[in-house]
Amino acid sequence: MEDYLSQLNESQKLPTVHKNGPIMVIAGAGSGKTRVLTYRIAYLIEMGVDPFSILALTFTNKAAREMKSRISDIVGVSDSKSIWMGTFHSIFARILRLESNYLGYTSNFTIYDTQDSDRLISSIIKELKLDKDLYKFKTIRNRISSLKNNLITVNAYLNNSELVQYDNESRRPLFGKIYQNYVERCFKSSAMDFDDLLLKTNELFNKFPEILNKYQNRFKYIHVDEYQDTNHSQYLIVKALADKNENLCVVGDDAQSIYSFRGANIENILSFRKDYENASVYRLEQNYRSTKNIVNAANSIINKNLNKLDKKVWTNNESGEKIHVNQLINDSEEGRFVASSIFENKNNFQLNNDSFAVLYRTNAQSRSIEDALRRKNIPYQVYGGLSFYQRKEIKDVLAYLRVIVNPSDEESIKRIINYPLRGIGQSTVEKLLIYSNENQITLFDTIKSINTIPINLNLGTKNKLHDFFVLIKNFQLLNENKNAFDIAKEVVNRLNIVNILKTDGSQESISRIENIEELINGIKDFVEGQKEVVGSYATLSEFLEDVALASDLDKKNIDNIKKVSLMTIHLSKGLEFNHVYIVGLEEDLFPSAMSLTNRADLEEERRLFYVGITRAKKKVTITHAITRYRWGKLNECEPSRFINEIDKKYLKEGILRNEIREIKHSNSKILRFRKPEIKNNFKPIKNNYIQNNQFIDINKGDVIIHNRFGKGKIKQLLSPGPGSG
């Protein structure tokens, strides 16, 4: 025991050995919070706590796997496997499968991903003959998601005049009908979307106190990672589970709360002591990741926020390089500069590609970076693009596997009913859907009874539907005694998918074949891995749940080639790189124009910038462009206020590229540009904010920054301010 505890500093050890009662660990960036959480769980087991009574909730599968691996090294594989540890969604899915009968679901319910939800919502909009320009499926899906995360059911929505009025004013008066249809169709298909995994868990605990009591007694010690990212629904579930024993340990950093757009509520961590008045609070302030200059620069930024918990992050690491700020003519030049810088640093310091990350505020900014990296022949990986499991050919095969497990899955049946082509057209599908909806039976049951029900289809079409039904039933029979790999291989072979694709002969079809092959390889790996999991039989159902809950960043590059990482700052959270480039530091881009209307949104943008800087271990390079295209129009850009908020002693002087460059114009003339230097003309003001009716002293000619309107110069004072002589 002492061996692993000796690896902790005093600040880390205190929450690790704190056994009973609620505790909050405020952990600065790179301060070892995962180690504390891991060692605390190991310590509890060493102290005699039953591992089955420990619950640990994370936000990524990657974090859960790393923690479980570390714990197994200390307490052994057997005990580590007994801990209930995983993402919120995976743990709650597990509970819901065990208790599904209470809510009227089968235990093999399907988990709909975003694309499945979009397809269903689009179908409903079409069936209701609504204007798809007014009722955009993504807007509707986001609206439904928001309501569910705030525990607003269909009935609650319909009885809330303010919510209904909002949609009426948004020219979507039939939103409630879509919401109702969507919920009913999901239930009929025995399917839940990601938001349902939270909503239904809350419903389960509220409606059935005996079930809540069961899990309160089971989970005597509860741990929550990244507590600042929890939404209202997650907060209520955790609070309900912890109410009996109050052995709740939450770990997080308010300075890294950046997910309000998906429902995260920073108040959950800020108000923790109001919920648990006897809570102990520990602070991890020593940063082990970054250099002194990076840590201090990040502190100087985040200190500009007013709504925060008190902490002072520090490090014993070397001072390191100061932060570089580079001004470029346009976004293309920005891309070329980043690519050249990576190329030079690689060669000069013998670094690998994976030492570098390029971070941006929006996905659209990756284009210029990608173009430049390709020209330099530098391998890269874009995170947040189309992932493996979202590719068409993969979705098609997975849809078959999902229907085998859950024949009530309407969306999957619609996807595969005519794939590969078997002569079942869209009009036939629509007739089947109308009949199933009118008679309140599943689409699969309608197909099953196709020869006995009164539906206007010719004999040839009915035979094709019957053949499809028999095909699925045969797969289901095989599934009774085969593992996921055997079934998947049988499906691909019997459908003759690979040979059908081969007849095309195009490069695209070859890629599709390779992807299907990789899917089969992946299922094989899954089956082999499940041999080590107690109670697992590597079933198709287990594999499909694993896929449904997977995310892009949870997976390693299959080709093992080291690559430069490109991603939004949101996606970078929790990661670290030797050298980080943060591009596009311009007003209205970063901070986003949408964040300038109120302080809360602007502070979240500042936290996002803080997260970006603290991903770096050795070096940070910031770039911004003088001009940038927006909707095809070249616009002048202003440097982001965040650059000016970094204390100047942490910025490297004289690194702005002001050398003369030759740029060829389209008419072959040579234009010469001198890149201007950034000049900070801002007048230092001791108090940046007006509080408690106190007024700052301003004079004609001062340059100021307004939270909403940005930078401006005082041209005229109309009257003396209050309190002046």
Closest CA to 208 of 100, 109, 53: 100
Strand extents, DSSP E, 573-613: 577-582
Determine the 3-state secondary structure of 314 from DSSP.
strand
| Residue 713 in tokens | 């110069």
Q: Examine the residue annotation and report whether 226 is marked as an active-site residue of this protein.
A: yes
HEC string for 115-156: HHHHHHHHHHHHHCCCCCCCCCHHHHHHHHHHHHHCCCCHHH
Residues 6+ apart with CB under 8 A from 603: 305, 306, 307
R_g of the chain computed on alpha carbons: 28
Dump the DSSP string for 640-693: -HHHHHS-GGGBPTT-S--SEEEEE-TTS-EEEEEPPPP---PPP-S--S--TT
Residue 675 to residues 183, 493, 648, 722: CA-CA distances in angstroms?
A: 57, 61, 21, 43
DSSP state of 260: G
Q: Considering the candidates 225, 393, 586, 605, report the single residue annotated as catalytic.
A: 225
Q: Examine the residue annotation and report whether 606 is marked as an active-site residue of this protein.
A: no
Q: Considering the candidates 12, 216, 256, 315, report the single residue annotated as catalytic.
A: 256
CA distance 290 to 154: 48
Q: Considering the candidates 79, 116, 226, 229, report the single residue annotated as catalytic.
A: 226
Q: Considering the candidates 13, 33, 311, 641, report the single residue annotated as catalytic.
A: 33
Residues 6+ apart with CB under 8 A from 478: 486, 487, 490
CA distance 605 to 361: 10
Determine the 3-state secondary structure of 88 from DSSP.
helix
> 616 — phi, psi (to 5°)?
-85, 140
Handedness of CA 367, 258, 312, 706 (dihedral sign): positive
Residue 34 to residues 63, 70, 575, 607: CA-CA distances in angstroms?
A: 8, 10, 12, 20
Q: Examine the residue annotation and report whether 504 is marked as an active-site residue of this protein.
A: no
Answer whether 352's CB lies under 8 Å from 562's CB. yes
- Displacement of CA 287 from its chain's centroid (Å): 25
Residue identified by tokens 């679901």 is 105
Q: Examine the residue annotation and report whether 131 is marked as an active-site residue of this protein.
A: no
Residue identified by tokens 């607003």 is 152
Closest CA to 645 of 606, 619, 605: 606
CA distance 249 to 242: 10
Q: Examine the residue annotation and report whether 33 is marked as an active-site residue of this protein.
A: yes
Answer whether 226's CB lies under 8 Å from 24's CB. no
| Residue 691 in tokens | 């509080």
Q: Examine the residue annotation and report whether 256 is marked as an active-site residue of this protein.
A: yes
Do you find a cis peptide bond into 720, omega within 30 degrees of 0? Answer: no
DSSP state of 261: G
CA distance 125 to 668: 53
Handedness of CA 372, 373, 374, 376 (dihedral sign): positive
CA distance 285 to 596: 30
Answer whether 301's CB lies under 8 Å from 646's CB. yes
Taking each helix axis from N to C end, the angle separating 392-405 and 507-530, rounded to the nearest 10 degrees, works out to 40
| Residue 84 in tokens | 């209930």
Question: Looking at the annotation, which residues are catalytic?
Answer: 33-34, 225-226, 256, 615
